[in-house]
Structure 1
Amino acid sequence: MKMRSFLMTCAGLGISAGLYSCKNQEAPKQEVQEPEVTVAQVHQTNGIVKNTYSAALEGVRNIEIRPQISGYLNNIYVDEGAYVNAGQLLFKIDDRPFQEQYRTAKAAVAVAEANVKNVKIDLDRKKELVENHIVSDLQVSQAMATYEGAQAALEQARAAASSAKINLDFCVIKAPVSGYVGRIPFRLGSLVSAASMEALTLITDINEVFGYFSMSESDFAAYQEWTATHSKRDSVTLVLANGSVYGKRGVIDAVTGQFDKNTGSIAIRTKFLNPKRELRAGNTGRIEIERHMEGILLVPIKSTIAVQDKIYAYVLGEGNKVKQALLEVVGKTAEDYYVKSGLSDGQTILTGGLGFVRADMVVKPKQAQ
């Protein structure tokens, strides 16, 4: 038993000595590896900033053709999609009721004219009689009033006849401008009226076309800054729906006075000449606006970090320590940002290994190939 207690005591002392020895043994220090990154310098250059906006085209004049009277369509002289000249006959409404109204009105004019003549004879006769004291002055005044009333009735009859003639002329509907005829929802025999919801057709003058698009507030601010030193009628390019570029350049023609509260954008109108009538109202496309920028920095997009709506780059500083720089981007290409501020000419930025880097970290730079 004594021997067993002695052995257990020795074993306990050995374990304690071992633990004390391990506790006092220093752990080997691990070397911190600096991340290896690629870097490159940025330099000032000139570039073209191109902004693209979806656009809808409309004719300079889109005129609804509506009847001024009610009646049945007797003739349709044009077809949908036809080109018509100003003054060309388009439709004819049954004019028989209006011809009768006009004849009645002309007859009323004739009756009124005869009545004026009759009353005038009576007035002249009483004027002669009053000089001989056969009739009184009161009778002459009454005759004068009757004559003036007859004249007024004549003017009223003439106005009614003119109105009837206008309504008769409204039976023939002509093109007010030259352009293309739109859809015609009515057919021969259809009853039409000025109160109809649908127009007879729409004529679009497309010798010139308007292109409407919207610009964001930031883009509009850049556009205003640009136009402060350049022509406000700088030409724009129209890219059609099939990707082809329209042969004639347009100009910015008008800008609305306020931003849309819901979209935060402002509507802009451009104008394009269309002598060959290649463009039609209702076409869609894209408006491209180019701005030539001088003294900008070209920064690869892959060398930047996007945080919400801000763009950052890592700049290599003294002692290979990196700093984060906020960039003011004024445009971009497929591979590069055009940077106006945030960097200076000749600065070195990180172009690779950004995923392993944080601000104020020391890195091991390697020149990009």
Structure 2
Amino acid sequence: METSVENKSQRPVMYTLLFFILILAVDLLSSCKQTPPAAAAMPPQELPVISVSSKPATVYSEYTAALQGNRDIEIRPQVDGTLEAISVDEGAFVHKGQPLFRIDARPYREQLNNANAQYLSAKAALESAAINVNKLTPLVQNNVISDVQLQTAKAAYDAAKAQVAQAKAMVESAKINVGYTTITAPADGYISSIPFKTGSLVGRSTPQPLTVLSENKAVHAYFTMSENDFSTFKAKYPGNTLAEKIKQLPAVELVLADNSIYPAKGKVELAEGQFNKTDGTISFRATFPNNNGLLRSGNTGKIRLSTEVTNKLLVPQEATFELQDKVFVYALADSNKVYGKPLTIAGTAGKFYLVSGGLKPGDKIVYQGIDRLHDGVIIKPKAMSEDSLLKTAAL
């Protein structure tokens, strides 16, 4: 009987526990059945869009060029000897007649002294021969001696006279050699590198020049055209001969190594008469004034030829991207979706591409933010005015 009473007293507690377990199970089941709220859809990004159009533009064709002074003069010694002094620094500007180098002149001064002595000796011999002729002449006239002796004396006089002339020439030659020991600038210009030092043995057989002087009042820019470019050039400009066609070329610009434009324009003057068999190119030369000495021999740059065009579409280079050596833009299609389109590039005009294929007038393309796009993306287009485009592209 005690057991049954004990079991009855425990039942309320068990019922309470079962009730709480049932509530927890219901809560857990209901929480599992609930679905999370759907994520909010991202709005399409707003990007500037432009309409491409055909406008007059200046197209530039660029050709790599090497610059040379209008005269690059090798400075070489005319006599052999020890380089005694170097009177100029590398890269210095020098004037015509300015001393550059001095070779030890002592051996040549001694040669001059010896030549002067021989000259004086020859003059004395000539005077002696003249005295002998003058002495024998009246004796022959008075039939005191035979004419043979006088003729012999006159021959000796002529030989002495020739010796004087030869000795005088040797003196002049020795003076020239002494003068050659001081090497002066043959023109105004800039000194290039000097591979010799004081004390070096130099001479006429030395393979290297002492230096090179570049006369840079005008500078020649040498550039080459491929066979295709040359054919285009011949077809574009009027004239029956190559020289006549070159005269029709407009003034050209020089783009320096830092991409700045040289302030003065140049003129194409000369072309070689045949193509280089190695690379299939033909050489041209353009001449630029260099009054301020900004250009030096050995500089590099690009020759820029300009051409006016009117029937090409202009596309800002900033609105393009490259993929596998092709140029693309993101064009706006229906429902504001964008798709990549390859372009056919006909040339450049400033910061614009001239497009001959891939787009047509009035097509809309994304101008900025193309790095965040891919095919099929929907955007919110923001129309960009033509004035704003030109200002942005000019920066």
Fold shared by both chains (TM-score > 0.5): yes
Evaluate the alpha carbon distance shift between residue 249 and residue 111 of structure 1 in structure 2; reply closer, same or farther with a 3 A threshold. Answer: same
**RMSD (Å), alpha carbons:** 2.9
Where in structure 2 are the equivalents of 1:83-162 lying within 5 Å?
A: 83-162=93-172
CA distance in 1, matches of 2:184, 2:354: 57
Greater share of residues in helix: 2
Deviations 1:124-157 (A, max 9, x none): 2222111111121222221111111111111111
Evaluate the alpha carbon distance shift between residue 104 and residue 338 of structure 1 in structure 2; reply closer, same or farther with a 3 A threshold. Answer: farther
Q: Which amino acid aligns with 2:103?
A: I
CA distance in 1, matches of 2:156, 2:249: 68
SS of the equivalent of 2:252 reads strand
Deviations 1:10-41 (A, max 9, x none): xxxxxxxxxxxxxxxxxxxxxxxxxxxxxxxx
Where in structure 2 are the equivalents of 1:70-85 lying within 5 Å?
A: 70-85=80-95
TM-score by length of 1: 0.68
Q: Which aligned runs of 4 or more in structure 1 are off by greater than 6 angstroms?
A: none
**Structure number, greater radius of gyration:** 2
Evaluate the alpha carbon distance shift between residue 338 and residue 154 of structure 1 in structure 2; reply closer, same or farther with a 3 A threshold. Answer: farther
Where in structure 2 are the equivalents of 1:347-358 lying within 5 Å?
A: none
CA distance in 2, matches of 1:99, 1:53: 54
Partner of 2:37: none
CA distance in 2, matches of 1:297, 1:241: 29
Report how many aligned residue pairs link the two structures: 275
Evaluate the alpha carbon distance shift between residue 151 and residue 227 of structure 1 in structure 2; reply closer, same or farther with a 3 A threshold. Answer: farther
CA distance in 2, matches of 1:331, 1:222: 14
> Which of 203, 214, 218 is the matching residue for 2:213?
203
Deviation at residue 105 of structure 1 after TM alignment: 0.1
Partner of 2:275: 259
Please list every run of 5 or more consecutive structure 1 residues that lacks an aligned counterpart in the other structure: 1-42, 301-328, 340-347, 352-369
Check whether the contact 2:266–2:287 (CA below 8 A) recurs between aligned residues: yes
Deviation at residue 72 of structure 1 after TM alignment: 1.0
CA distance in 2, matches of 1:284, 1:82: 20
SS of the equivalent of 1:97 reads helix
> Which of 333, 345, 354 is the matching residue for 1:336?
354
> Which of 283, 293, 313 is the matching residue for 1:277?
293
Check whether the contact 1:233–1:253 (CA below 8 A) recurs between aligned residues: no
> Which of 176, 191, 195 is the matching residue for 1:181?
191
Q: Quick check: 1:268 aligned with 2:284?
A: yes
Where in structure 2 are the equivalents of 1:241-260 lying within 5 Å?
A: 241-260=257-276
Partner of 1:65: 75
Please list every run of 5 or more consecutive structure 2 residues that lacks an aligned counterpart in the other structure: 1-52, 240-244, 316-344, 364-395
Deviation at residue 46 of structure 1 after TM alignment: 4.9
Deviations 1:86-111 (A, max 9, x none): 11111111111111110110110111
Deviation at residue 224 of structure 1 after TM alignment: 2.8
CA distance in 2, matches of 1:106, 1:227: 67
Greater share of residues in strand: 1
Deviation at residue 330 of structure 1 after TM alignment: 7.5
